[in-house]
Amino acid sequence: MKRILTGLQPTGIIHLGNYIGSIKQMIDMQDKYDSFIFVADLHAITIPQDSKELSDNIKKLIALYIACGIDPNKNTIFIQSENIYHTNISWMLECNTYYGELSRMTQFKDKSSKNANFTSGLLTYPVLMASDILAYDTDLVPVGIDQKQHVELTRDIAIRFNNKYGDTFKVPEPYMTKVGTKIMDLQDPLHKMSKSSENQKGVIRLLDEPEIIRKKIMSATTDSETRIIYDPENKPGISNLINIYSSITNMSIKDIENKFKDNNYGEFKKEVADVTINLISEIQDKYYKLLNSNELDNILDKGRDKTIEIAKVKYEEMKKKIGLYR
């Protein structure tokens, strides 16, 4: 079974767009791959974070992913900072990475240009990511377009190290996740649903109260016609609601158009709200149960112990090859 590895930044807000666009795909992949999933908390501190909030978000993120259907029996789940080998390996890789390579990374250029007071962690961020990936002989790294360059750099670093010190790392491939259904902002259906959206009425958070979700869906922007027809170009609002309904119920768009051919927008919105609330309530039930049990800690302890064992072997091998021994 090929091994995949996914790092998640503990950013706080997870919304329906994340669930439909990415978490559902991860759930599909867990049966086909040996899957490692971790919270990239060390990556999060490349920019300033409130410590209490960060700590809360780390556990909450994992609880929410598990509540969504990421199965702890099928995935190795852990927290990056609980495995000291990531940073140790990262240092040895940094000493085999050029400043020029790092300063040319698009994400670095973009983030550093927005704030003149950036840390050196922002620069070396991709090397820590390389260490996350290379420590586990990862075959495939599922990434969106924004992280693809970092996986390519990881390949360059791995190949360079292998050439210099002998075969040490498996050279990973980026695995471009097929673009899942893109869910748009309910208020502004020409733009993606996003946690940083100005108007939070357009964003359905997985931890929103059910009545709030209903309100947001009922007040979603639609056009001035009345028929429920899928036409993203001319009817982006209603098409977005059809996409949401289709993703949640697994009904085809044709069948949905047919089912609601005699209904108006208000009636359709009510149905969309019902299925969405159904799904999200189930997720929330599991989420709050998990947060209030020891189960989460047990899962994370197990993940920590297992990954420390694997990464330690890679770390020792690197040290020996480099000459860091008595």
Please check whether residue 193 is in contact with residue 16, taking contact to mean a CB–CB distance below 8 angstroms: yes
Q: Which is nearer to ligand TRP, 40 or 61 (CB)?
A: 40
7 interacts with ligand TRP by CB under 6 A? yes
Please check whether residue 182 is in contact with residue 192, taking contact to mean a CB–CB distance below 8 angstroms: yes
State the DSSP H helix or E strand holding residue 134, giving kind and residue range, or none if neither: helix 120-134
Alpha-carbon span 17 to 180, nearest angstrom: 9
What is the per-residue DSSP string for 216-242? HHHT----S-------TTT-HHHHHHH
40 interacts with ligand TRP by CB under 6 A? yes
Active site residue 195: yes
Q: Which is nearer to ligand TRP, 107 or 200 (CB)?
A: 107
Helix axes 236-249, 265-291, angle to 10 degrees: 50
9 interacts with ligand TRP by CB under 6 A? yes
- Residue of 192, 254, 289, 320 with catalytic role: 192
Please choose, from the candidates 141, 175, 158, the residue with its C-alpha nearest in 3D space to the C-alpha of residue 8.
Answer: 141
CB of 132: closest distance to ligand TRP in angstroms?
Answer: 4
132 interacts with ligand TRP by CB under 6 A? yes
CB of 27: closest distance to ligand TRP in angstroms?
Answer: 17
DSSP state of 219: T
Q: Count residues near ligand TRP (CB under 6 A).
A: 12
Please choose, from the candidates 209, 201, 197, 254, the residue with its C-alpha nearest in 3D space to the C-alpha of residue 229.
Answer: 254
Q: Which is nearer to ligand TRP, 12 or 210 (CB)?
A: 12
Residue type, 172: P
296 interacts with ligand TRP by CB under 6 A? no
Rg of the chain over Cα atoms, rounded to whole angstroms, equals 22
Among 58, 61, 129, 184, interactor with ligand TRP by CB under 6 A: 129
The token duo for 122 is 């922002």
6 interacts with ligand TRP by CB under 6 A? yes
111 Cβ contact partners less than 8 Å away, ≥ 6 residues apart:
47, 118, 122
The token duo for 250 is 């697994």
Ranked by CB distance to ligand TRP, the top (closest) residue is: 7
CB of 321: closest distance to ligand TRP in angstroms?
Answer: 23
- Residue of 148, 170, 195, 215 with catalytic role: 195
Active site residue 270: no
Backbone angles phi, psi at 141, to 5 degrees: -120, 105
18 interacts with ligand TRP by CB under 6 A? no
- Residue of 24, 59, 74, 111 with catalytic role: 111
Footprint (CB under 6 A) of ligand TRP, residues 133-152: 133, 141, 143, 147
Q: Would you please indicate which residues are annotated as catalytic (active-site) residues?
A: 111, 192, 195
**Site residues for ligand TRP per CB under 6 A:** 5-7, 9, 40, 43, 129, 132-133, 141, 143, 147
